[in-house]
Amino acid sequence: MSGNDINRRDFMKFMGLGGVGAATLSGCDMPTTITLEEGKEKVVAYLAPEEYAIPGIGVYFASTCQQCPSGCGVHGRIREGRLLKLEGNPKALNGRGLCQMGQASVQSHYNPDRIMQPMARKGGSLQPVSWEEAWQIMGEKVSGVDQGRSAWFTGTVSGHQSKLLDALNQAWGSKEHYVYEAVNNAVGEAVNEAVLGDAVPAYRLDKAKSILSFGADFLGTWMSPVHFSREYVKFRTGDRGVLVQVEPKMSLTGANADLWVAARPGTEGVVALGVANVLLTKHQVNGNSLTKAALDLIAEYNASKVTEISGVGGDSLVRIANYLKDNSPSLVLSGESANNHANGYQNAMAIMMLNVLLGNVGKTIEASNSMAFKDLKAKRGNSRALLDFAKAIDAGKYDVVFFMGANPVYTSPSHLGFADKLAKVPFKVALSMFLDETTLAADLVLPLSSPYEEWGTTVAPYQPKNAALSMSQPLMNPLSPETKSLGDILLSMLKHHGVAGYAGYDDYYSYLRAALAGMPASVKAGKSGDEFWSASVQRGLINAPSSPGSLKIKLGDIKQPGYQANSGFPMHLVPSTNQNMYDGRNANLSWLNEAPDQVSKVFWDSWAEVHPKTAAKLGVKEGDFVKIESDQGAIETQIYIHKGVHVDVIAVPIGRGHEEYGRYAKGVGVNPLKILSPAEDAESGELASYATRVKVTKTGHSADLSRLGGSERQVGRRLVSTVAASVFRRVEGA
Amino acid sequence: MQTKDINENIAWAKINEDVLRSMENPRMGYWVAVVCCVAMVMCAVAAEIYQYQVGMGPANLNWPHMWDLYIATFVFWIGMSHSGTLLSAILHIIQADWRKPIYRFAEAMTTFSLMTAGLFPIIHLGRVWNMYWVLPYVSDRGIWPNFRSPLVWDAFAITTYLTSSALFLFIGMIPDLAICRDSARGWRQKLYTVLSLGWQGDDRQWRNFRKIYLLMACFLIPLAVSVHSIVSADFAMSIMPGWHITTFPPYFVAGALYSGCAAIITLFILLRYFFRFDEYMTIPILEKTCKLTFAIAMVWSYLNIIEFAATWYGHDMVAKELLIAKFVGPHAPYFWMMLFCGSVLPFTLAFEKLRRHLPTMFVVSLFLNLGMWLERWMIVTPTLSFSYMPFAWDVMWPSMVQWAIVFGSFGWFGLLFLVFVKVFPSVSMYEVKEMVFHRRHYHSSALANQFHRRASDPKPGDEPSKEGA
Amino acid sequence: MSLKNILENWSDYRRTAEDGGHHDYEHMWAMAIDLNKCTGCNACSVACYAENNLPTVGKKRMMKGQGMHWLRVERYWDEPDMGGDEKEYQERGGSFLPMMCQQCNAAPCEPVCPVAATYHTPDGLNAQVYNRCIGSRYCSNNCPYRLRYFNFYSYYEESWPEPLNMQLNPDLSVRDKGVMEKCTFCVQRIRVGKDAARREGREVHDGDVITACAQTCPTEAIVFGDMMDKSSKVSKIWAAHEVELGKHEQHKSDPDLRGYRVLEGLNTDPCVTYLERVREA
């Protein structure tokens, strides 16, 4: 606690309960006699505390981090009834590690800008109301809605909450559940599904000896970064593997690569074809696994053509091919910059073709384990949901919309006119912890408890080996008794609707207990219901038996468009994602605002990264403001110059530029997502967020860039010393 | 052209009259000066109160600039304090009697600049209220300061030096205070009665006075040298490039004497002008001071060259980088300004025409001190800006809070000095008489020097000294 | 040692002095950070904020260099004389260096503190006594690593608006303005670990104590432990890479062993060993 400001009321209570208060404090304007009866709850709590509440001793309880969709298991340290710190759950996929977003999720829990009670729109603005009133409004607006006229718009959901949500939707006769994540791997998943028959196979980084990643920032934001970081270490130690990263803007993974190659956004597929070309021609790799059409296409993409389209030099292609050939087995990944483009599906397909050509499927790409409970599986988010939803509300399809875990008003490009379209929906309910842009547009706001105040189960979207259900349990009493967990709200709604089978549960906790007790014996491993419950809560994980799946290989067509210069808008905009602000949900956490971006080291603001050559051409230096203008609008931000950006690219990180969302987020930086051009991936219908062309002009303003660190070079000192991999393998190799 | 240090025919009574007149009836200009100084001090006080309440942040101190102008100005004022010791102690011992008309105010300068300097380590502390912890007071918890820390040495050195130089100033003033006592009325009479300690000017008192004065002089010289060596240890004892330099102690002492001399020239000209001390603070004396300053400037420049060369040809690459950063980096304008003021400008002192031109000398002396102030800044700050960790490199300019306090320190010094000149005789009456006496008898400064030791004793057959009477 | 003895055996004496004398210590807490594993993800730094009640100071003060990042992850770009080359792109990625207080055995910050607010504990830690600190900031000036941070303001009101203050770790204080602070190797966790061991009547085992940064590190690049325990993981890493305490220059049987200490030549004898970053070419 800060300072010595003992809350006066607490002090009074203390004194009153001790029996001396009446004598010493008479004359004060406070009720000075608090009888033992009145204060019983508090007194008894201290006299006979919970088993864990040992004053001065921190105790750890398992729960699940919800700060990003990865669903890492955590241990929360509790002392005197307060959650103090989070650590990774060693039994979970993330091990004892946790990323900075997970570490900062306590700040989300204790955030000063949390919504502490329900709010309803009255006379144009949101006013605090009681839960009774909130339910009453819900009853009025929602009960009469026709079948199919309501929809849910959420982020990634899984576990029993997801099950309840399905049940509710079913009861309403509406199947409309849009699952949206601004940062997603939907295109890659579509290709995986098409080629391998498994949308999220297991990527065995630990087995690979070389990794070629096309913009997959698996150490930062891609799928399950903490898990991949652990696998990365296995990949990097012993007989050390080689990491090559091809992307338009250096990501955290790119910064750790042995070879970082700059490619124009959207040309990753071409680079993949070029690499395949070298592998087939120079290394005589057997191309039997590919179709004739594919081989013909590869033959077309010789080095000079690839260089012309992608900007990747022929020598780089040869180096990449050599690494892949010499360090087998290899693994080729496609990430955001490759996928989120107008030809994203084709890029991902070409990249998958490399995996097929190199024979990685089955070696470093394994089938995920199919889980016992299909209904608990994570509903993975994509951006197509946003486009579909925008179309649907524009057409006036819904009377009631529920928002939860997504902030589309903030993340949607301005060409969608999302806010205006949303205004057409008569009644919008937001289940939220914070007054973000979407919540503020709602008519009814139901305050959610934080992930560390509620019961729940989570199934991580990425389930590489042992399928697991991660438990959430309240780590402390809710900060506000007026907040409710998603599970409780859904259960109340189900009960209100009179859906059969839910009336017997007092709250979500009892539902969850019953649900776990009802799990098959194979999951419970012979334990009784109560035993199984305690074990699950204690471990934080339920390992479900799973059957190993299998992968097929059915490579689709690979088409690649040529590179077209756009003279009006000569540069590419890269709305990069970093493991800090993520998709903007972390902008209200002061720790993460103050934590510098890993690559640029900029804090508390947005910035635009350009290559030194580009900067020279634009006539800008670090800290100069530039105007980045697309056909949809313009943003202004400061320049940071480094050689980890393609010369034709200007990269602006997403996640800042909130108009609302609390004191730490509001008005800080710019939001590049707003100026995205309308473009979609033709095959998957995903938003092509990397397809925007921009024109960059100097504004003439300049200010110091908020960047940590003085010199960016070591000036000859041996601070970070580098040794060659060959030496490492000789000395420390397995 | 005036060639004699002092007019030998000047009457005893006129000396008393002139000096005592300077202490009376402050004119308009004096009050304006006082008001200006008070205003400057108030600026600093306001800044300090703000800083005290908020923390050190508004001063634009940062990581890595934990020190900045406060410490630089502290060193500057400590340096300034060496003037008095030089004139009264060193020149006393080597019997340069031309010092006599000007040593008093120089000594006062010593005391006051120490009083100013002493404020800075306090102002710069993050937790001022605990400043006494650096002193080895008897604590019931048995906690002592860290005697290995140069900052603790500083505390000892400065308090010792301040006490000694204040005593020296006071002791040297006793015969003059007696003169004041005899002509003063009201509160002044009471003050001087107490302060003159019953001085009657008898033989025994003079003998004891001479002894203690010489003793103090001998005591002060090593003290002065050690004080600035210790201040240099704040830097030289560290391991930072640009601070960890072996030549720092002599370099600091030379720099101190340099800035002290330059300040003497400034105040010499001011006092001569405002108090019409033309007959005591004569041009030849100024010339001698200028020559001395020039010599010290050359020593200082030489030590600079040694430092640069040692760094340039040494093997410490970080120190060399720092030197290059000083030459061409963001601080370069100030660095070259410092070298210009400190090493080029003193050549004006080598020309007799310029030396004798008071306005020129006034401006030059101010610039010399500006150079010396910049020197201290250029010692403290660039090292912090560019040291071992390139990631921590930074350039930070001081904020108005720092400037206000530095500015106010000049006001504080000025205020103390202004009070001094009206309360105490700023020219030593008895020593001027002594000087005139010797010149009269020997008509030659050379002879006076030669016989000085004996000359200070009353000669048989001479008119008995009326000094102090 | 008598004066005569010292004069006769000067070189021996000097060597013992260089050794830092840690051999009598109860513990010698140390770290090993493998830059081959470190990805520069910054999780350690935020974990440090969470564990050690570090205030967030806001953009303006951060820009003024008044931030309180006890553990900072430095990022350097390659330069020609460090094995890189002037190619068009940053082909070898970045170089990340997590820097926390190096807990030097011959710490330059210790002798200069006028009030002995920073001193060496028999655990080999470079301790900072907040209550004793008067804020002369000399220690930070004399830290070649620039790892000491000063409370230029009082932050407890601005940095932890309610209910964020409920997150504050009660195991250690919130520092007020005018006090120097730095990484403590999570001394509060060491305390807990030692107390637990004493209660159970046993020695502190390797793994009983782990710092917040080491615990959260997704790649386990940071290894923390007791150098006096020869079987601890950290001792083994130091031994495997032939880095020894008490030396300002390591003589290795194989020059390709990766262990080194930052600015070792200054003879600060830091307790943090780094293992070199590895790159293909």
Label residue C12 by pLDDT band (50, 70, 90): low
pLDDT digits 0-9 by tens, B201-221: 899 999 999 999 989 989 988
Chain A residue whose CA is closest to C57:
A594
Within a domain: residue B245?
yes
| Residue A5 C-alpha, separation from nearest chain B C-alpha, in angstroms | 19
Q: What is the number of other CB atoms lying within 10 angstroms of the CB of residue A166?
A: 17
Q: Are residues A355 and A382 in the same domain?
A: no
pLDDT at B398 over 60: yes
Q: Are residues A235 and A377 in the same domain?
A: no
Average confidence (pLDDT) over B57-72: 93
Size of interface A-B (CB pairs under 8 A): 23
Q: Are residues A349 and A448 in the same domain?
A: no
- Nearest-5° angle of CA A206, CA A210, CA A216? 80
Least confident window among A17-26, A423-432, A551-560, C170-179: A17-26
Chain C residue whose CA is closest to B56:
C152
User: Could you identify the residue written with the tokens 């830290």?
Assistant: C143
Task: With beta carbons under 8 A apart, name residues in chain A contacting C41.
Answer: 99-100, 219-220, 225, 229, 252, 579, 598
pLDDT at B184: 85
Within a domain: residue A146?
no
Within a domain: residue B463?
no
Q: Are residues A258 and A340 in the same domain?
A: yes
Within a domain: residue A711?
no
Label residue A50 by pLDDT band (50, 70, 90): low
Q: Which residue has the higher pLDDT, B89 or A329?
A: A329
Alpha-carbon Rg for chain C in angstroms: 20
Within a domain: residue B300?
yes
> Would an 8 Å CB–CB cutoff place A638 in contact with chain C?
no
Task: With beta carbons under 8 A apart, name residues in chain A contacting C171.
Answer: 58
Within a domain: residue B70?
yes
Stated pTM of the model: 0.90
Within a domain: residue B305?
yes
Which chains neighbour C (Cβ–Cβ under 8 Å, 3 or more pairs)?
A, B
| Residue B282 C-alpha, separation from nearest chain A C-alpha, in angstroms | 54
**Reported ipTM exceeds the 0.90 cut:** yes
Q: Is residue C130 within 8 Å of residue C175, measured between CB atoms?
A: yes
Whole-number mean pLDDT of chain C? 90
Q: Is B391 close to A710, i.e. CB distance below 8 A? A: yes
| Residue C206 C-alpha, separation from nearest chain B C-alpha, in angstroms | 32
- Percentages of chain B per state (helix, strand, coil), in multiples of 5: 75, 0, 25
Q: Are residues A280 and A222 in the same domain?
A: yes
Average confidence (pLDDT) over A41-64: 70
pLDDT at C84: 54
Chain C residue whose CA is closest to B396:
C64
Q: What is the CATH number of the domain that holds A95?
A: 2.20.25.90
| Residue B381 C-alpha, separation from nearest chain A C-alpha, in angstroms | 15
Task: With beta carbons under 8 A apart, name residues in chain C contacting B128.
Answer: 178
> Would an 8 Å CB–CB cutoff place B410 in contact with chain A?
no
Label residue A27 by pLDDT band (50, 70, 90): very low
Instruction: Classify each residue of B5-41 as buried b or exposed e, where b means 16 or more C-beta atoms within 10 Å of its C-beta.
Output: bbeeebebeebbebbbebbeeeeeeeeebbeebbebb
Q: Are residues A232 and A341 in the same domain?
A: yes
Q: Are residues A385 and A500 in the same domain?
A: yes
pLDDT digits 0-9 by tens, A225-241: 999 999 999 999 988 99
Per-residue tokens: B283: 């041009």
- Percentages of chain C per state (helix, strand, coil), in multiples of 5: 25, 15, 60
pLDDT at B22: 86
Q: Is B391 close to A717, i.e. CB distance below 8 A? A: no
Q: What is the CATH number of the domain that holds A540?
A: 3.40.50.740
Q: What is the CATH number of the domain that holds B258?
A: 1.20.1630.10
| Residue A703 C-alpha, separation from nearest chain B C-alpha, in angstroms | 15
Q: Is B384 close to C141, i.e. CB distance below 8 A? A: yes
Q: Which of B195, B202, B297 is nearest to B251 (CA)?
A: B297
Which chains neighbour A (Cβ–Cβ under 8 Å, 3 or more pairs)?
B, C
Q: What is the number of other CB atoms lying within 10 angstroms of the CB of residue C91?
A: 22
Task: With beta carbons under 8 A apart, name residues in chain C contacting B61.
Answer: 137, 150, 152
Q: Is B394 close to A719, i.e. CB distance below 8 A? A: no
Domain count for chain B: 1
> Would an 8 Å CB–CB cutoff place B389 in contact with chain A?
yes
Q: What is the CATH number of the domain that holds A613?
A: 2.40.40.20
Within a domain: residue B294?
yes
pLDDT digits 0-9 by tens, C107-138: 999 999 999 999 999 888 999 999 999 999 99
pLDDT at B468 over 60: no
Q: Is B63 close to C115, i.e. CB distance below 8 A? A: no
| Residue B119 C-alpha, separation from nearest chain C C-alpha, in angstroms | 13
pLDDT at A39 over 60: no
Q: Is C56 close to A591, i.e. CB distance below 8 A? A: yes
Within a domain: residue A168?
yes
Residue from the list B317, B321, B391 with its beta carbon closest to the beta carbon of A709: B391
Residue ranges making up the domain that contains B78: 12-455
The percentage of chain A sitting over the pLDDT mark of 70, rounded to a whole number, equals 91
Within a domain: residue B2?
no
Q: Is residue A424 within 8 Å of residue A396, measured between CB atoms?
A: yes
> Would an 8 Å CB–CB cutoff place B321 in contact with chain A?
yes
Q: Is C215 close to A87, i.e. CB distance below 8 A? A: yes
Chain A residue whose CA is closest to C91:
A260
d(CA C226, CA C234): 7
A190 phi, psi to nearest 5 deg: -60, -45
d(CA A109, CA C163): 9
> Would an 8 Å CB–CB cutoff place A131 in contact with chain C?
no
Q: Are residues A329 and A440 in the same domain?
A: no
Residue ranges making up the domain that contains A331: 186-369
Domain count for chain A: 4
Within a domain: residue B445?
yes
User: Could you identify the residue written with the tokens 């094995």?
Assistant: C83
A73 phi, psi to nearest 5 deg: -80, 140
Q: Is B127 close to C179, i.e. CB distance below 8 A? A: yes
Q: Are residues A92 and A196 in the same domain?
A: no
Average confidence (pLDDT) over A361-382: 85
Q: Are residues A480 and A440 in the same domain?
A: yes
Instruction: Calculate the alpha carbon distances from C90 to A254, A532, A634 in Å.
Output: 10, 53, 29
Which chains neighbour B (Cβ–Cβ under 8 Å, 3 or more pairs)?
A, C
Q: Is A715 close to B321, i.e. CB distance below 8 A? A: yes
Q: Is A250 close to C94, i.e. CB distance below 8 A? A: yes
Chain C residue whose CA is closest to B241:
C144
Q: Are residues A595 and A631 in the same domain?
A: yes
Residue B87 per-residue DSSP state: I
Q: Is A728 close to C258, i.e. CB distance below 8 A? A: yes
Least confident window among A433-442, B41-50, B455-464: B455-464
Q: Are residues A484 and A605 in the same domain?
A: no
Interface test with B, best of A711, A718, A719, A720 (most B CBs within 10 A): A711
pLDDT at A36 over 80: no
- Nearest-5° angle of CA B160, CA B164, CA B170? 150
Within a domain: residue A732?
no
Label residue B365 by pLDDT band (50, 70, 90): very high
> Would an 8 Å CB–CB cutoff place B138 in contact with chain A?
no
The percentage of chain C sitting over the pLDDT mark of 90, rounded to a whole number, equals 74
Label residue A32 by pLDDT band (50, 70, 90): very low
pLDDT at C202 over 90: yes
- Nearest-5° angle of CA A193, CA A199, CA A202? 125
Label residue B457 by pLDDT band (50, 70, 90): very low
Least confident window among B99-103, B462-466, C176-180, C257-261: B462-466
Give the CB-side neighbour count of residue B348, counting CA atoms within 13 A.
Answer: 22
Q: Answer with the one of A88, A109, A130 that is the final residue of a domain.
A: A109
Task: With beta carbons under 8 A apart, name residues in chain C contacting A643.
Answer: 77, 87-90
Q: Is A598 close to C40, i.e. CB distance below 8 A? A: yes
Helix pair A303-310, A268-281: axis angle to 10 deg: 170
Domains of chain C are: 27-275 (3.30.70.20)
